[in-house]
Structure 1
Amino acid sequence: MIVVTRLNDSQFAINPDLIERIHSSPDTTIVLVDGSKYIVTESLPEVIERIAAYRARVLSLAQEIPVSRSGIRQLELVTSADHDSRDDPHPDDDDDGRARAVPVLPRRI
Structure 2
Amino acid sequence: MDGPQQCSTDGFPVIVVTRLNGPPFAVNPDLVQRIDSAPDTILTLVDGTKYIVEEPMVDVISSINEHRSRMIARAQEIQREDADHNHLRSAPALREDHDEDSDDDSAPPRTDRAELALVKRITREDS
TM-score (norm 1): 0.59
Query: What runs of 5+ residues in structure 2 fail to find an aligned partner?
Result: 1-13, 87-127
Q: Percent identity?
A: 53
What is the deviation of 1:63?
2.0
What is the deviation of 1:8?
2.5
- CA–CA distance in 2 between the matches of 1:25 and 1:67? 46
Higher Rg of the two aligned structures: 2
Structure 1 residue runs of 4 or more that deviate by more than 4 Å after TM superposition: none
Name which of 48, 73, 76 aligns with 1:63. Answer: 76
Is 1:12 the counterpart of 2:25? The answer is: yes
Aligned residues: 71
More strand by share: 1
Is 1:46 the counterpart of 2:54? The answer is: no
What is the deviation of 1:3?
1.0
TM-score (norm 2): 0.51
How big is each residue's C-alpha offset from its partner over 1:37-92, in whole Å with a ceiling of 9 and x where there is no partner? 000001110100000010111112112211236x8xxxxxxxxxxxxxxxxxxxxx
What is the deviation of 1:9?
4.1
Provide the alpha-carbon RMSD of the alignment.
1.8
More helix by share: 2
In structure 1, the residue corresponding to 2:34 is in which secondary structure? strand
Is 1:21 the counterpart of 2:41? The answer is: no
